[in-house]
Amino acid sequence: MSDGTRNGIRSEPLPAFLTKEVAEMLGISEGYLRKWCLELEKHEYIFIKVRDPKSNREYRTFTSKDIKALKQFQTLMKDAGYNKADAAKTVAMTINDENWNADGTSHDPMDSQAWLITRDKEVLEREKNANLLRELLREEREETAKELQSMREELRRTQEEFQMLKEGIQTYQKHHERLLQERDEQLLHSIRAIQETKQLAAPTMENKRHWWQFWK
């Protein structure tokens, strides 16, 4: 038994449980329990803390209401698919509501069955949004894949056209070089023929005498 205050108001002595005991009740490690408590405290849930006079350190003690809150936190994450932040926010709002009494039970007209229906609707809405997002992403991936395939085909055609153009240029260069070579050979042949003709004609010109030279 320990005395405690919650929200600055002195309460009657409540049954208190230690971290180890609560962890065993929930079937989790003490480390996980501390993380859950920190997450709940981020959303203004208040645990009773006791200071150890020897070590001067504070540690949490848990009432039945705290255990109720932790069990709801665990159910939201395990069965409803909540993340830690959303589960902690939901628990803090529910437990701290004025309709919850000291022993952790609720007199709210929305009973547990109605709460489960609401929770299931939220889960279904989450799943619907997730499925819609997955479908949009799938369509976007398919469209991107089609565009990439079209770009690859266009690139392949461009490469083929470039290769054909390159081969055409190479063929033209070879043909042009062959024509130049044939022209040079013909020109050289003509020059040699002219030179040979001149060489043959030279002795004839030297031996040729004018008509008046025969009377000498």
- How many structural domains compose the chain? 2
In the chain, DSSP assigns E strands to 5-6, 9-10, 48-52, 57-61
> What is the per-residue pLDDT for 62?
92
User: For the CA atoms of the chain, what is the radius of gyration?
Assistant: 51
Neighbours of 184 (CB within 10 A): 10
| Structural domain ending residue among the three candidates 69, 85, 104 | 104
Percentage of residues in the chain with pLDDT exceeding 90?
Answer: 23
Q: Which two tokens stand for residue 183?
A: 């022209």
Distance of alpha carbon 216 from alpha carbon 205, whole angstroms: 20
> Is residue 144 in some structural domain?
yes
Q: What would the pLDDT profile of 61-100 be if each residue is shown by its tens digit?
A: 899 889 999 999 999 998 888 899 999 999 988 876 545 5
Q: Taking a C-beta distance cutoff of 8 angstroms, is the pair 180, 187 a contact?
A: no
Grade residue 122 by pLDDT with cuts at 50, 70 and 90: low
The angle at the Cα of 42, spanning 40 to 43, to the nearest 5 degrees, equals: 70
Grade residue 204 by pLDDT with cuts at 50, 70 and 90: low
| Average pLDDT of the residues in 34-54 | 89
Structural domain of 89 = 5-104
